[in-house]
Amino acid sequence: MVPPLEGGTDALLPDLPKGPLQAYRARASFCWQELVLFLEGEDMLRLKKTIFSALENDPLFAHSHGEDLSLEKYRELSFLRCKRVMEYSLLPVEEMVARPLSVQTLITCLGMYDWSLAVKFLLHMLTFGSAIYSSGSERHLKYLPKIFNMDIFGCFAVTELSHGSNAKAIRTTAHYDPTTEEFIIHSPDFEAAKFWVGNMGKTATHAVVFAQLYTPGGQCHGPHSFVVQIRNPKTLLPMPGVMVGDIGKKLGLNGVDNGFAMFHKVRIPRQDLLNRIGDVTPEGTYVTPFKDDRQRFGASLGTLSLGRVAIVGMSIVNLKLAVSIALRFSATRCQFGPSDGEEVPVLEYQTQRWRLLPYLAAAYALDHFSKSLFLDLAELQRGLMGTDQGARQAELGREIHALASAGKPLASWTAQRGIQECREACGGHGYLAGGAHFQSPLRTVDFLQAYPDILGQRFTCPSVDSCLDSSVPLAAYEWLVGYLLRESYQKLNQEKRSGSNDFEARNNSQVYYCHPLALAFLELTVVRRFHEYTHQPRVPPPLRAVLGRLSALYALWSLSQHTALLYQGGYFSGEQAGKMIQNAILDLCSQLKDDAVALVDVIAPPDFVLDSPIGRADGELYKNLWTAVLLESRVLERPSWWSEFSVHKPRIGSLKSKL
């Protein structure tokens, strides 16, 4: 077990190295250490430092610069690193239960180093281990020590070759046989094969398998989860009746062995049904604490949402890394200036700020959303493991599922666009229905109770200065969601009146209606949560201004992408409304320019983890670039193919004679 780091906050947050970035750090309007402590808390910060220190001081985690690892070598290394992380016992079980965000912190730190390692660990410990812990009961606790000791290695098998998001329609079956008190797991055909399952390709010995549960008499009770052994832990050979294999090389995350599996009448004990939401008696009677199938499935959505919540967090981490590198680069890369003899950092240019700073604000806002959604999921899991298994629990599961389903594309698309913008900026170096009463345990749709009044509102800001608070775009977002909700509802009714069935009506109402509605709703949720977080009374006074600007910039920048809809619906009128939003964004970018480096210092990992010569904390851009070139190249060494070429190369004379 790695001992936690000792010392006070000074030891946790030492001064950053002096260098070219010091000029921007000196101009920051806040203390970056104070903001780190406010955002993370001392305990979480200590955990981060412990993790990063363990990785940096272990030769197994040394970066292999300039070396292209083979697929098998990369997978072997990822498995050994995952095993080493488990041996470190960085996060005891009681710590995970008491402080759920510590789990997200661990995954985040590992992901900053290498997402193959982080995903492999996450799939084994969280998706597999957490599913057994939260979806099972006391009879399943026997698996936990084996998971922690890696006596068994796990995966989570929901997705099938022909079914992904539509988990209700999976085709793997589990028929109960009361004569032997066993379930028979079966894949009816190749389309029912479990597919794209991480860790299943080469290393997993056990899987949490989702299958349609059938009791004697042929009644189907819908998807349930089962613990199924797929390989012998000592030989890694497939178990009888299991066909399991690897799907091969992918475009990324090749340290993770994604695989497939088919089951031919594989028998497992009745006790290996994870029975938190439903169980089968030895005689074959189905029992459940939930009143109806809808409530039961709603409660199970929490387990299915974990992967989407994790992808939200992964996307934000990647965006953080990209903006850290791009902004440190922009603060030290000097090009042109007011006179021939003077060059200024490219961060001083309005275009560079406009390209990068909104994504810095997005990283902060989406990071808070990701953490709050993870806590919502932890609340759901605690309720399922206790006695809270009523209607509220089911509604909470559905609401989290909706937020996670919309959050995944919003976060990943934002990160994708942001990372590309960061690359280019470094140059060559580089869910809702209307008209009915609904419950909202997380209060994400409570604002719609004032739906008619909201639609009657209009943009009334008199000046740019009055737009510089996130309450302004927040009000606009509430109108936008209300407007898109009305338009989507009317479109659905129009389709039904024209003869479309429910499926056709929904399908024909996606583009321009339900799709932008889902995105706008999720963006509103992110904006609202970050606005409430940055405007709460416990924010230290020195941090209120910079956090308020970040909140306003993210909200206005996101809202500006819906300008056409705001004009189309009549919320905006006249050219000044649109111009006011644009000018407010530019003003906020200008106001945040001098804080950019310090804001990056808050979210950037240590140089060892960031592993970028143009994004190091010392700001020595050109020296670090040159050092990296020397380290990763073999100076004065001929190419490996040169000797053969020099022997067989054509002679000029012989060419002339042929001519």
Give the CB-side neighbour count of residue 371, counting CA atoms within 13 A. 18
Rounded Cα distance, 225 and 477, in Å: 39
Rounded to 5 degrees, what are φ and ψ at 486?
-65, -45
Please give the structure tokens belonging to residue 360: 């810095």
Q: Which two tokens stand for residue 484?
A: 């898109």
Between CA 212 and CA 175 the distance in angstroms is 8
Distance CA 204, CA 39 (A): 37
- Checking if the pLDDT of 435 tops 90, the result is no
- 3-class DSSP assignment, residue 49: helix
Cα distances (Å, whole numbers) of residue 223 to 118, 158, 195, 403, 534 = 28, 10, 17, 22, 41
Local structure of residue 339 (DSSP, 8 states): B
| Model confidence band, residue 582 (pLDDT cutoffs 50, 70, 90) | very high
CB 261 within 8 A of CB 193: yes
Contact between 488 and 514 (Cβ < 8 Å): yes
Which pLDDT value is given to residue 290? 77
Task: Kindly report which listed range (45-54, 506-515, 539-548) carries the lowest average pLDDT score.
Answer: 506-515
570's torsion region: left (phi>0), alpha (psi -120 to 50) or beta?
left
Nearest partner of 433 among 486, 396, 391, 395, judged by Cα: 486
The per-residue b/e assignment along 430-441, b for 16 or more CB within 10 angstroms, e otherwise, is: ebbeeeeeeeeb
Pairing of strands 173-177, 206-215: parallel
Q: C-alpha 433: how far from its chain's center?
A: 26
Length of the chain, please?
Answer: 659
Of the candidates 306, 357, 309, the residue with the CA atom closest to the CA atom of residue 331: 357
Q: Is the pLDDT of residue 512 over 80?
A: yes
User: For residue 536, how many C-alpha atoms fall within 13 Å in the half-sphere facing its CB?
Assistant: 10
pLDDT in tens, 444-499: 888 888 878 888 899 999 999 999 999 999 999 999 999 999 999 999 999 999 99
Lookup: tokens for 238: 């497939």
Instruction: Place 337 in a pLDDT band, splitting at 50, 70 and 90.
Output: confident
Q: What is the pLDDT of residues 243-275, one digit of tens each?
A: 999 998 988 899 999 999 999 999 999 999 999
The two tokens of residue 236 are 């890694």
The confidence score (pLDDT) of residue 425 equals 86
pLDDT range class, residue 652, cuts 50, 70, 90:
very low
CA distance 241 to 334: 64
Mean pLDDT of the residues in the chain: 88
Nearest to 195 by CA among 145, 147, 245, 153: 245
Packing angle between helix 471-497 and helix 541-560, nearest 10 degrees?
A: 30
Q: Per-residue DSSP letters for 557-572?
A: HHHHTTHHHHHHTTSS
pTM recorded for the entire structure: 0.85
Output the CA–CA distances (angstroms, integers) from residue 210 to 136, 307, 341, in the order listed: 13, 14, 68
Q: Listing from the earlier edge strand, what are the strands of the sheet with 194-197?
A: 194-197, 259-263, 242-246
- Quickly state the pLDDT bin for 318 (edges 50, 70, 90): very high
CB 306 within 8 A of CB 377: yes
Is residue 433 scored above 60 in pLDDT?
Answer: no
pLDDT of 295 > 90? The answer is: no
Neighbours of 225 (CB within 10 A): 28
Q: Is the pLDDT of residue 402 over 50?
A: yes
Cα(403)–Cα(523) distance, rounded to whole angstroms? 10
Window from 14-23, 100-109, 185-194, 424-433 with minimum mean pLDDT: 424-433
Which amino acid does the sequence have at 14? Answer: P
The pLDDT, as a whole number, for residue 502 is: 84
Count the Cβ atoms, other than its own, within 10 Å of residue 579.
11
Owner of token pair 């052994």: 229
* Tokens coding 403: 């937020």
Burial class (CB in 10 A: 0-12, 13-18, 19+), 403: buried
